[in-house]
Structure 1
Amino acid sequence: MPTRPAVHLAIPVDDLDAARQFYGGILGLDEGRRTDHWIDWNLHGHQLVTHLVPRRSVAPGTSEVDGHNVPIPHFGLLLPHKDFHVLAERLRTAGTEFLIEPYQRFPGQPAEQWTMFFRDPAGNSLEFKAFTDEAQVFAR
C-alpha cells in the first residue's frame, strides 16, 4: 500500500505488445499484473493501466498554452529535473516524435518548468514536466 495517495489512471490502447514496448521498454516503467486485455504499470508509484480497446472515434482537441497547442486530453507526470532530461534523451534515442519538443516554459515566473509532449503508440498524449521550484506547482 502506498504511503502517500496515489493516482489510478486507465487509458485505452489498441495493441498491448506496442504498449509493453513503449511503457516498459522506452519509458522504463515496471510491469505489474496483466491479463490478455490489460497491463498494470508502475508510473513512479501511481497505477497506470493500459486497456485493450478498439480505436477511439473522438478526435482530440488542443488548448493554447505559452504559444503552443497543447493536446487535450493528456496525462503525465511531474519529475525531478535530472529525471526529466534523462527521459527526454531516452525518448530522442528511441526516435519518439514530440508533439512539443522539450523546452522551458514560463521562464522567470513562479510556474517556471521544463515540459514535453508526445504520444504513445495508441495515440494517447503524454506530458512530462519538471518545475524549477516544486513548491510552486499549485501557486497562483
Structure 2
Amino acid sequence: MKEKLRPFHLAISVDDIPTNRKFYREVSGCVEGRSSDYWVDLNFFDHQLVIHYKEKPKVEYSHSNPVDGKEVAVPHFGVVLDSKTFDYISERIKEHQINFIIEPYIRFEGEVGEQATLFINDPAGNTIEFKAFKNPDQLFEN
C-alpha cells in the first residue's frame, strides 16, 4: 500500500510581514493559521509554511544551476500541483503583475517526467517553484 505524502514544514525569513502575508494569501491562495507580530503560519497547498520576520534578510542568490538553459536559483522551494491549479496560480501571478524569474514552460516534453514549471520570487526575495506533472505518478521516475 502506497503511503500518503506527509506535509512538510518550512520556515523562511521575510523583512515585511504584512506585504508577504498579503502575497501568500492573495497570489498563492494560502490560508492563514496561527500568527504573531513576528511570524505567520500558512497552509501552502496542505504543507506548513511559516514566514518569520527578520530585519532586511540577506537573501542573495549568487548561486544558480543551469537547468534547461535557464539559471535556477539555489536555494528555492516549491510545490507540485495538479495542472488545473498550476494554470490558476500562473494566472494569479499575471493578474498581480508579479515578474516571472522563469516563465511557465514544459520540461521533458514527450518524456517520462513531463512537467509544467515556473519560478517567481516572493516580496522578500525567496524563490518559489510551482510545477505540475502531466502524469503525477512520474514524480520520482527517471
TM-score, scaled relative to structure 1: 0.94
Runs of 4 or more above 3 Å deviation? none
- Partner of 2:58: helix, strand, or coil? coil
1:74 to 73, 76, 79: 76
Contact 1:38–1:50 at 8 Å: present in 2 too?
yes
1:23-80: CA deviation from partner (whole Å, max 9, x where unpaired): 0122110000001100000011110000001233362121111111011110010000
The answer to whether the Cα contact below 8 Å between 2:59 and 2:125 also exists between their aligned partners in 1 is no
What secondary structure does 2:48 align onto?
strand
Contact 1:66–1:106 (8 Å) recurs in 2: no
Residue matched to 1:42 = 43
TM-score (norm 2): 0.93
Q: Distance in 2 between matches of 1:57 and 1:12?
A: 9
Say what the alpha-carbon RMSD is for the aligned residues: 1.2
Q: Distance in 1 between matches of 2:67 and 2:112?
A: 15
Structure 1 stretches lacking a partner, 5+ long: none
Residue identity over aligned pairs, in percent, reads 44
Pairing partner for 1:86 from 79, 85, 88: 88
Aligned residues: 138
Number of the residue aligned with 2:22? 21
**What is residue 59 of structure 1 aligned with on the other side?**
60
Match of 2:139 in 1: 137
